[in-house]
Amino acid sequence: MSTLAVEGSPRRATRRAPRTRLDAFPRDPLLRWALRLALAVPYLLVAWVSAATTDAAALNTPNQQLLDHVATIPWDRADPEWIGEIFPPISTLFATLLPGGRAGLAVVGALIAGIFLQKLIEIMVQRKFFPTTIVILILALGANPLFAYTALENFPAFLGLAFFGIAASDIMRFVAWRNTRSGFRAGMLLMLSTLSDLSGLLYVLTAAAAAPFLRLARSDQKGARAANVLVIIYPTVSALAAIFFINFVFTGSLLNSLGSDLLEGSPERFAALGPLFTTVNGWLLVAPVLSAWLIALIVRRPGSIIVSTLVFVAILVAFVLGLLPTGSAGNTFILMTVMAIALVPTPKNRVTTILVDAVAVLQIVIAWAAAFNRPVVADWMSAVGNAFGG
């Protein structure tokens, strides 16, 4: 379900009220890791079949592009120009150190997918979602080709999304439940997201846009909203500022070659925005946002329409600036769905639950329609399907 309707904790934390318990789910660590592995198994199976049978060069997936780039990096240097070549450093180092090339990245992506989905289930259990809602939301997110393709063939983007997904729940705990540790953890996770993929800058913008609209635990504190945003974005800003400073001191340019790569083609991408929304692909891009507005009305949070709209604008800005690299598919759908799971208000009655579930089911249809309409995903699905069939 793609919606950004937001609220505070189901049991709002105050000085007189006990804080909401943030118990892990399942509580037994062995069961928790078993659930993660069980959720990862379908992706591991697809990763094995895909790596063994599909032509990576012909598909030109983001993982293949990453491996091709890593092969050109001179590891005997350590200068500002070199920093630009290895950015984002976390995914670059993973691609360099992991054995197995494309297959190794797909296996790690599948394992991260299991952990990612378990953490989202945990969030919904903590927030007392109905079991039907939990099942439908997890199916809407994880049981579609957009998610599988991103997890197995776009390791940088998926790693960034995983960090962001966990950070989104921590943002809600920090702002609405007064859990200070969650605030610092959210800031660090957003920084790791940015250092994993350039799209992480989009996720930081998304978090900064959403945080001021969350219901505060202490609404009487002056400047609380601005302080919350500062805590969330500070680690990312600090890390990027350090990179900018090093580049400026030694090269006279803030971003060096990285900046020119980002901005190259921006005018063309901006000019393509208008015609995009006259196509089926553009309509499918807008569909999650319209669903967000619908859910906002169902749960009686019309103000959250502003949040979903700001997030969509941030996505468009990221596209124009080149933060969504060629070959990315499904980032928008996954981002909006993760925001929904982390921040959607807990349905208060059966009627609201049924309506929310209905919109969640609609997201499954949207995701599959978008997958078949994206040539890069359709080609990948065809290759994997032929491998399973033959």
Q: What is the pLDDT of residue 379?
A: 83
Residue 368 domain-assigned (yes or no)? yes
Q: What is the pLDDT of residue 55?
A: 61
Q: What is the pLDDT of residue 286?
A: 86
HEC sequence for 103-162: HHHHHHHHHHHHHHHHHHHHHHHHCCCCHHHHHHHHHHHHCCHHHHHHHHHCHHHHHHHH
Euclidean distance between CA atoms 133 and 136, whole angstroms? 5
Residue 2 domain-assigned (yes or no)? no
Residue 219 domain-assigned (yes or no)? yes
The boundaries of the domain holding residue 65 are: 29-389
SS3 15: coil
Residue 245 domain-assigned (yes or no)? yes
- H-helix or E-strand containing 201? helix 200-210
Amino acid at 66: L
| Structure confidence by residue, pLDDT tens digits, 252-276 | 666 655 555 566 667 887 888 888 7
Average predicted confidence (pLDDT) for the chain: 80
Residue 346 domain-assigned (yes or no)? yes
Residue 18 domain-assigned (yes or no)? no
| Structure confidence by residue, pLDDT tens digits, 310-325 | 778 878 887 887 777 6
Residue 6 domain-assigned (yes or no)? no
Query: How many other CB atoms are found less than 10 A from the CB of residue 173?
Result: 25
Closest of 114, 205, 197, 122 to residue 158, by C-alpha: 197
Count: domains in the chain: 1
Mean pLDDT across 112-129: 90
pTM recorded for the entire structure: 0.85
Q: What is the pLDDT of residue 188?
A: 94
